């Protein structure tokens, strides 16, 4: 088992993040579309989370953004993982996931989760003051800051959620744990 926390994501997000064949990431397999595929999808999510738990960081888009991936977050909680809600947009979710995976090699425990919570907020906050550059197939304007510098920025920017114990995120952004909007600046 690697010492670093492993990240669990579904295959759509992994694809948007440009991740393939990375030891730090467990990607939920996509079952073939056929009768019973819902149960097969659930089995695949259980296998992925169980292989990475405990101590893994599960990244999931909200159920209203991707209904098929909805069980992933619940399974993460049940199996003792930290769960961070990604932005609902697939490209934004991929951008945040690519950063979080990069950081997972040198972050530990709560540090990675806090960085992840800020990254999610940055991806969802178009009015952020950081410089921007086009990213992904849709060329969305995402923060144009290197992963190392951005991780330090996230460490300083993180603010706790006023509603839940472990949650927080970017000032003014959503809590990436409970969804509470407008984390205090």
Residue 180 interacting with Zn ion (CB under 5 A): yes
Reading across the β-sheet that carries 25-28, which strands appear in turn? 25-28, 7-10, 57-60, 82-85
Please report whether residue 86 would count as binding Zn ion according to CB under 5 A: no
**Rule CB under 5 A: is residue 164 a binding residue for Zn ion?**
yes
- Under 8 Å between Cβ of 93 and 103: no
Nearer to Zn ion, 47 or 162 (CB): 162
In whole angstroms, give the CA distance from residue 28 to residue 14.
9
177 makes contact with Zn ion (CB under 5 A):
yes
Least separation in angstroms between residue 120's CB and Zn ion is 12
The reply on whether position 166 binds Zn ion by CB under 5 A is no
User: Which member of 5, 167, 169, 174 binds Zn ion (CB under 5 A)?
Assistant: 167
DSSP code for 66? -
Q: Does 161 bind Zn ion (CB under 5 A)?
A: yes
DSSP 8-state symbol, 67: G
Q: Is the peptide bond before 4 cis (omega within 30 degrees of 0)?
A: no
Query: Where on the chain is the footprint of Zn ion (CB under 5 A)?
Result: 161, 163-164, 167, 175, 177-178, 180
């Amino acid at each position: 088992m690697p010492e670093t926390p492993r990240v669990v994501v579904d295959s759509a997000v992994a694809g948007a993040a440009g991740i393939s064949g990375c030891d730090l990431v467990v990607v939920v397999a996509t079952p073939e579309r056929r009768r019973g595929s819902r149960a097969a999808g659930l089995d695949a999510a259980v296998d992925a989370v169980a292989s990475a738990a405990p101590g893994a960081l599960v990244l999931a888009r909200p159920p209203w953004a991707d209904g098929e991936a909805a069980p992933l977050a619940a399974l993460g909680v049940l199996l003792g993982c930290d769960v961070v809600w990604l932005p609902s947009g697939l490209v934004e979710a991929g951008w945040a996931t690519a950063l979080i995976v990069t950081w997972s090699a040198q972050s530990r425990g709560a540090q990675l989760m806090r960085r992840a919570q800020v990254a999610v907020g940055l991806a969802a906050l178009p009015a952020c003051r950081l410089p921007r550059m086009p990213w992904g197939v849709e060329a969305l304007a995402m923060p144009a800051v290197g992963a190392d510098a951005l991780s330090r920025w996230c460490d300083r920017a993180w603010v706790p959620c006023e509603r839940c114990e472990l949650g927080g995120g970017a000032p003014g952004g959503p809590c990436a744990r409970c969804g509470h909007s407008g984390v205090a600046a």
